[in-house]
Structure 1
Amino acid sequence: MRTRLERHFRFAALHTNWRTETLAGFTTFITMAYIIFVNPAILSQTGMPIASVTAATCLCAAFGSILMGALANYPLALAPGMGLNAYFTYTVVQKMGIPWPAALGAVFLSGIIFLILTFTGIRQQLVAAIPHQLHAAVGGGIGLFIAFIGFRNAGIIVPSAATIVTLGNVRAPQTALALFGLLLIAILQVLKVRASMLIGVLGTMLLGIVCHQVTWNPAPFHIGAISSTAFHLDIPAALHIGGFEIIFVFLFVDLFDNIGTLVAVTQRAGLISPDHTIPRLNRIFFADAAATVVGSMAGTSTVTSYVESATGVAAGGRTGVTAIVTGILFFLALFLAPLVGTIPVFATSPALILVGGLMMTGLGTIEWEKPHIAIPAFLTVSTIPLTWSIADGLSFGLTSYAALQLLTGRATRKDWMLYLLASLFLLRFLYLSHA
């Protein structure tokens, strides 16, 4: 049985083993665990019971990650998407006044549309339309994005009215602990310790406990709480006036956030084929769409692939076992949610910072001497972190690439999907500026 599983997950071909994949799954989970508490905190502002959303968050993250690993054999973990949960709460429910069951109905319908687009091959064509010259740029941009999040969470970078951002107080206890974690992980990586990320996070948390910087405030929680949101979605209400607009935003933002994450993580893991295609792409998209449908029925916003999956890849994860381990841990978190909440952000921030650095390595493969490639690549790399959006950065890069191809006589008929995609991005920019 063990040998059969190793063949299924292609351990020999990908030069990995059970220990490495398990550690990678733990590493991904630890860097993603914040979503168990952040997502309910955001969605509860719609009137949804926080305990119910907590259970739904753990359940759909477990389902999506395990399905991704078992079906598609990729180290991609899934959970309710940040940004989309904020749009769900602050725009759809609070600003537009739409009840949360109707908003869940819109999420459900967007997931069904995703499934249709997957089965018809349209999502796969959209990924194929992205020039392979931009793959490394997307990875580099997401690397900067992840690092920026890590620096901010650690308090190393703080907001500034004069300069937008500036150096924080490095003598603050939690910032100092984050710097300790950064140094610890860096040393372990130089020494080629495979579990460097996991050891660094746990070591930093342990020092935080010793320094009295880790607090634990357990709250009452029971898995049965999910009944307050499960199957409460209102699909007919989602189809009323304004519903199509909401479904479009859920669909569009998740589509291109997911594509950007997918390209970046698979490239970092060396899983993209020599012809620049991503194997089993239809299975990846099916897992993502199915998780969104299940999440909406359980009681949470759109589920998507997480950029934090790159931490598991950096720890050596190459197969779906990494995602399955992460999913199992999310399932266990259903019963251990208060314990998971003890992992502080100052412990996970160093991992995000250094993973961001590792994702920059692909930028050396970009043909910077060619302006029609270098300019779109630069726009992609810079706008992902500066707009705080993978989808926006991908929009800038792909649209500029298409414009340069078209206006300099490089356009060909076979690239029709590229120009259709660029047109959709332009419409997205117009819609967002109007909104």
Structure 2
Amino acid sequence: MHAPKGALERRFALSARGTSARTEVLAGITTFLTMSYIVLVNPAILGTAGMPVASVAAATCFAAAFASILMGLVANTPLALAPGMGLNAYFAFTVVQQMHVPWPVALGCVLISGVAFLVLTVTGIRQMIVASIPPYLFAAVAGGIGLFIGFIGLKDAGIVVANPATFVALGDLKTPGPALALFGLVLIGALSVWNVRGAMLIGIVATTLVGWLTGQVALHAEPYSLSALTGTLFKLDLGGVFGLTGSHGLGLLEILFVFLFVDLFDNIGTLVAVTKRAGLMTAAGKIPGLNRILITDAVSTIVGSMAGTSTVTSYVESAAGVQAGGRTGLTAVVTGLLFLATMFVAPYAQLIPLAATAPALIIVGGLMLLPLTEVEWEDPLSAIPAFLTVAMIPLTFSIANGLAFGITAHALLKLVRGQLKTSDWFLCLLAALFVARFVWMGAA
């Protein structure tokens, strides 16, 4: 009985961080419950790109399990990972549907972005990139992605529909789809304000059951087969990535840029939030083991792309586990083991209708607006680029456009104000590349 406890103590330094194995296990379960909705939501999003839903569900569980366990063992941080919200939407709606890139090629782009992230971290270039981007733009990107995800949820639910006169309009809420989605939205909202752990997962499952009972969802129970796990395994097409020419033009660079930078921004914001709450950040504001954390993230993205899912990133829901007492990597390991166990029932995610997952998208999108409080809205130098970033992401259905408008506006306004310094050369380079992108797009 004492040997395992001693091994855990040595590996995770439980006493030094004022915690126990029991507390860490409970924290890991808490984190899993708060982020387990991704097992159902990620396949629903990537399924719109033509990917097999059952396989994506299994790949989602595997990627989350691998990444979380690796994070716990390598970085000893209570940080869980899974395919990121926002980047999965960019993958499905922008890269595959709008740019007409086949999903195996898009997976190849995810792998290359993970390799690039790894190289930038190991060589130290990452610090230069982070230093060139003002923190308020990190917040604006997160907020813009939140609106993007929320808008997708409203569209999937049929609550917001296309309109030739006004572009968008309110859908017919009396029809079965929107009505079922509204039921799910109210249920998840109620469970959330009551602080019920796993509120989103419970809400998705309950909404699906109501859909089945009312005849809105056809239940086709198919025999479970492990072959369902291999539909996306090693299906990425690296050769196709470097063949993205012709009508795609600079598409490859844009795709890699968005996958890389949004992952970078997402990680920095999540790391700051979680490590602050866990009391792991130093007095100087430094995050212990930052390079190990980012290397783990990069490796996880590479492995996730091979399994068949979009970019893997740190989850801010890890803060729920920290709130429950998690202080070490054991929390992340427990979360990963639970995702691993879930993998073998994940293919049944294909039975979940859009009307059941859409409410989760809407609520997740709303919760992602919190970072916008970090923007100094009284200062035009930050308010104008931040607004352009937030607005352009959902209105153009492109994270890349939001980044382009925000970074370019920031560089131009700094120039006009006379605050541009020689140290801002990388910022100016990014802005120039974005301007060139818009010129090229206009001429295409």
Q: CA deviation at 1:254?
A: 0.8
Q: CA deviation at 1:143?
A: 2.3
2:311 matched to 1:303?
yes
2:172 matched to 1:163?
no
Deviations 1:137-195, CA, capped at 9 Å, x for gaps? 23322222222122222221112222111111211223222222322333334444454
359 and 244 in structure 1: CA distance in 2 versus 1, 3 angstrom threshold: closer
Q: What is the aligned partner in structure 1 of residue 375 from structure 2?
A: 366
Q: CA deviation at 1:63?
A: 2.7
Q: CA RMSD in A?
A: 4.2
Q: 1:145 is matched with which residue: 148, 151, 154?
A: 148
60 and 178 in structure 1: CA distance in 2 versus 1, 3 angstrom threshold: same
Q: Is the 8 A contact 1:197 1:315 kept in 2?
A: no
Distance 2:159 2:104 in 1: 40
2:124 matched to 1:116?
no
2:131 counterpart letter in structure 1:
A
* 2:37 aligned counterpart, secondary structure: helix
244 and 372 in structure 1: CA distance in 2 versus 1, 3 angstrom threshold: closer
Structure 1: segments with no counterpart, 5+ residues: 95-99
Given the two structures, how large is their TM-score scaled by the length of structure 1?
Answer: 0.76
Distance 2:295 2:90 in 1: 22
Identity %: 44
62 and 208 in structure 1: CA distance in 2 versus 1, 3 angstrom threshold: same
Distance 1:420 1:93 in 2: 27
2:36 matched to 1:33?
no
Q: CA deviation at 1:405?
A: 0.7
2:259 matched to 1:254?
yes
Q: Is the 8 A contact 2:404 2:431 kept in 1?
A: yes
* 2:430 aligned counterpart, secondary structure: helix
Distance 2:98 2:284 in 1: 42
163 and 19 in structure 1: CA distance in 2 versus 1, 3 angstrom threshold: farther
Q: What is the aligned partner in structure 2 of residue 97 from structure 1?
A: none
1:121 counterpart letter in structure 2:
G
Q: Is the 8 A contact 1:107 1:247 kept in 2?
A: no
Q: CA deviation at 1:402?
A: 1.4
Q: Is the 8 A contact 2:83 2:310 kept in 1?
A: no
Q: What is the aligned partner in structure 1 of residue 190 from structure 2?
A: 187
2:400 counterpart letter in structure 1:
A
2:191 matched to 1:176?
no
Q: What is the aligned partner in structure 1 of residue 200 from structure 2?
A: 197
Q: CA deviation at 1:333?
A: 4.9
25 and 284 in structure 1: CA distance in 2 versus 1, 3 angstrom threshold: same
Q: What is the aligned partner in structure 1 of residue 344 from structure 2?
A: 335
Given the two structures, how large is their TM-score scaled by the length of structure 2?
Answer: 0.75
* 2:49 aligned counterpart, secondary structure: helix
1:142 counterpart letter in structure 2:
I
1:367 counterpart letter in structure 2:
E
Q: CA deviation at 1:213?
A: 3.1
* 2:351 aligned counterpart, secondary structure: coil
Range that drifts further, 284-293 or 172-181:
284-293
1:407 counterpart letter in structure 2:
V
Q: CA deviation at 1:398?
A: 1.9
Q: Is the 8 A contact 2:68 2:336 kept in 1?
A: yes
